Amino acid sequence: MYAAKRTIVFFSLLVFLLSCKSQILPDDSSDSEPIEYAGPPRFAQSGGDTYYIDPSTGDDSNGGTGPDSAFASFAPVNSNTLPPGTTILLKRGEVFTGPLYPGSGEEGNYIRYGAYGTGEKPLLIGADELTTGGSWTYLGNSLWSWSVPFSVDIGQIYFDEGILPGDKKWASGDLGVDGDFYIDRNSGILYLYSSSDPLSAYSSILAARTEHIINFSGSSYVLFENLSLRYGGAHGFGGGNTDHLIIQDCDFSYIGGGWLSGTDHIRYGNGIEFWGNASNHLVQRNTFTEIYDTALTNQNHTTRADQHNIYYMNNIISRCGLASFEVWNRPSSSRTAHIYFVHNTSYNPGFGWGAEREDRNYFHIALFYHEAETDDIIIKGNIFYSSATPAGALYNVLLYGENQVGWFSGMQLNSNLWFVPDAPAFGFKNGDAYSLYDNLEALKAATGKGADGLWGEPDFTDASTGDFSLTDSSPARNLVPETDFRTSDYSGNNLSYPSSAGALE
């Protein structure tokens, strides 16, 4: 196959990527020593108190030290004064309203957030229910207003518990279809178009606040596990200046859509975003679906930052509006090193509710506007599969751009299985020009990248139901010679080598 070479002026993407996607945090990094490979962090806890939270039977005036004396909310534990070794357990089957502000542990004695009891994982939401706590006022012409002003933007409205996402508009005059909504940034008043009384039209109306459900800014040595995050208008996990965080066995859905302050109409929202200085993180065995922007990302701009030793492994990602994996760090004085995206399954980016975005672009991997000095971005043993191409999309698998320090030459794209139904698959940016490559062989010929990879359909057991296990005939089987630090797959199955690409054996 031949590489398709074209020049495409893509101004809307440039505007989006040059905008800040999160808060700017102080820079405390130093380049006095080279950044060494450290391997994924390991959880350790040497002792400490355990606290329980149960919204149904708890009370914040309780001691919180047992299931029968549980707290009712995050208020008693939303403090950075929790000592290292503390464990916070959330009751399974319950719904918790964020945001959560975790504390910090120390080396050898993490703080842990997890679950207790039986049933579904604890559900953390970043939304307010608009069938109680206020009232809807009819303004005429199918326009309604909520009586309680909001102090933050509303990124999305979910009707009937997420079955029907709304459609965010930028002026009240744009409302004209059931589910359209607009929030006045000055007054905080929310307006909704509904041809009938919202309380009779919908069983649930959840307004997702533009706040991170878990804001881990400044946190270090913390483990989060067995949680479900849903209905937030910013990021699921977000924040800057972080170190030694482990996020595992969590589920993310219906995240993002909030207005990016300082812009006209740009919206944002990632599953997990490490911003600014970020180091020694492990993100494994999580699921992501229906994310407005990107499932997994470490990024930074404006202020110099070091981002290093971040490991994304054994995650299942589907239907993210922009990308499954995204990395960029600037200015050029910043440093990025030892970023591993290994044995993840990426399915159908560009679909889901995030497809309503104004810039109709999607990628399995987005590596662009990256200026930092870079040592190792490893993308290995993954499955990148699209069963269809979203309308209006220009690139399908990977968009990447070189910078003045030549970081692309140090990136590895090894032992991955790729497939998209339409070309071009890969795009290389140089200024405002894009070189496009139809498939993996074209990329290999032009760049030398993609060693030991294959192009072909992965033969999932049943992707339509979320079963991304592999059939016996899948070309992903036995594709990966070895991954040093990976000992099991998404389901905890022990490995033998060669192992399969993707999150599941």
- Domain chopping of the chain, boundaries: 4-42+211-470, 127-208
Residue 75's pLDDT is what?
A: 96
Give the whole-angstrom CA distance, residue 493 versus residue 124. 28
Strand pairing class (426-430; 398-401): parallel
Per-residue confidence at 396, pLDDT binned at 50, 70, 90? low
Sign of CA dihedral 169, 173, 174, 175: positive
For the segment 203-211, the average pLDDT, to the nearest whole number, is 97
Query: Can you give the length of the chain in residues?
Result: 505
Strand pairing class (205-209; 87-91): unpaired
Report whether 389 contacts 423 (CB < 8 A). no
Report whether 86 contacts 49 (CB < 8 A). yes
Residue 69 has pLDDT above 70, yes or no: yes
Give the whole-angstrom CA distance, residue 44 versus residue 173. 55
Residue 361 has pLDDT above 60, yes or no: yes
Residue 412 DSSP SS3? strand
> What pLDDT, in 10s, does the model give residues 220-254?
999 999 999 999 999 999 999 999 999 999 999 99
Q: Which two tokens stand for residue 426?
A: 């890969």
Residue 422's pLDDT is what?
A: 82
E strands, 415-457, are 417-419, 426-430, 433-437, 454-455
User: Which residue carries 């502000």 as its tokens?
Assistant: 101
The pLDDT mean for the chain works out to 89
> What pLDDT, in 10s, does the model give residues 3-48?
333 333 333 333 333 344 444 333 444 456 889 999 999 999 998 9
Report whether 109 contacts 83 (CB < 8 A). no
Q: Which helix (H) or strand (E) holds 4?
A: strand 4-6
Residue 407 has pLDDT above 80, yes or no: no
Q: Is 436 exposed, middle or buried (0-12, 13-18, 19+ CB in 10 A)?
A: buried
Q: Please name which of 177, 200, 185, 178 lies closest in space to residue 152, comparing C-alpha atoms.
A: 185
Per-residue confidence at 493, pLDDT binned at 50, 70, 90? very high
Give me the residues paired with residue 384 across strands.
346, 418
Residue 13's pLDDT is what?
A: 39
Q: Which two tokens stand for residue 422?
A: 């339409």
Q: Please name which of 460, 300, 273 lies closest in space to residue 373, comparing C-alpha atoms.
A: 300
Residue 148 has pLDDT above 70, yes or no: yes
Strand pairing class (127-129; 205-209): antiparallel
**What percent of the chain lies above the pLDDT cut of 90?**
73
Residue 36 per-residue DSSP state: P
453 Cβ contact partners less than 8 Å away, ≥ 6 residues apart = 413, 414, 415, 416, 417, 418, 440
For the segment 350-357, the average pLDDT, to the nearest whole number, is 84
Give the whole-angstrom CA distance, residue 379 versus residue 96. 35
Q: Which of 3-7, 14-18, 139-143, 299-303 has the highest mean pLDDT?
A: 139-143
Residue 189 DSSP SS3? coil
Helices (H), 98-160: none
Per-residue confidence at 423, pLDDT binned at 50, 70, 90? confident
Residue 7's pLDDT is what?
A: 35
**What percent of the chain lies above the pLDDT cut of 70?**
90
Q: What is the pTM of this model?
A: 0.92
